[in-house]
Amino acid sequence: MMDWTDRHCRYFHRLITRRALLYTEMVTTGALIHGDVKRHLEFNAEEHHVALQLGGSEPADLAHCAKLAQDWGYDEVNLNCGCPSERVQRGAFGACLMAEPALVADGVKAMLDAVSIPVTVKHRIGIDRVESYEFVRDFVGTLADAGCQVFIVHARNAWLQGLSPKANREVPPLRYELVHRLKRDFPALTIAINGGIVGDEAIAAQLEHVDGVMIGRDAYHQPWHLADWDRRFLGATANPADDRLTVESALVDYMEAQAAQGVAWSHVARHMLGLWHGTPGARRWRQVWSDHHLKGLGAREVFALATRQRLHAEPKPSDQTEAALVLP
């Protein structure tokens, strides 16, 4: 989710669910050690609980960055051992680390020694053509011996050669049964599942077998799917938001506050373009918030225009569309 789940995206999602654990986009240890720490680690207090996802392999670097995460107020540090991109492999982290469980275990130990917040690991069920259950079982066992208690398992292999990151989310088959088996074999560990899970019924079905479910792209593209999670899955008596318009209006308030700090509303709005997905007028509404010609307007003005377009979205001849989008 690099370049997707930034702090603006997480603030938006927190308006819809108060209790789901949110994860940052992956941040490399090199970026934190040699780059702008504030730019990478600053977040809104409203985001709690929020986990920093790290990419790296050197135990000392991981420990240093885990300490930074704790100092900045993150609630968890998550080590990414699942990203299959070639760029990540060249940095010797991501899914390729599954071939080096002892090194990952050393990194986990180093982070646990450095911080008091939880240290967790996200990984795949295998790499390349290695499809035996024993491979992922031994990987989890080695890290559990090092002290890791929480594993988020993407139920696909990562093919390190020949597939793009996008294809790696689609081509290797999903094998949920292997993740379910991990939970049976390691009942004391917290095992969460990830990969291809869409909708509340699918989440409920997985929770019959594992302790948690991580949702990525479905939560991003159809964020209103999060709306019932607090009540249905996370012990709340009510959901934080009853309707999408309330959420949109609250995010516009946030856009205005960010504008006072020099952040363009478009940097925030891009994360909510799926809010009205599947409802009448959603396409016209999305066109307004995506229209670069409107960037000179304030967020509240664009909100009013987008709402009007959504509510009055009768089909119009193409030669009227542009005029409709710039009505005062």
User: What is the set of active-site residues?
Assistant: 83
DSSP letter at 263 equals: -
Helices (H), the chain: 7-16, 29-34, 37-41, 59-72, 86-90, 101-114, 133-145, 165-168, 176-185, 200-206, 217-221, 229-233, 244-259, 265-269, 282-290, 299-311, 318-325
> Could you tell me if 108 and 114 are in contact, meaning their C-beta atoms sit under 8 angstroms apart?
no
Query: What CA dihedral angle connects 106, 109, 110 and 116, to 10 degrees?
Result: 160
SS3 298: coil
Give the C-alpha separation, 26 to 17, whole Å: 21
DSSP 227: G
Question: Which residues are 153's β-sheet partners?
Answer: 123, 193
Joined together, the tokens standing for residue 134 give 């024993």
Phi, psi torsion values for 156, nearest 5 degrees: -135, 155
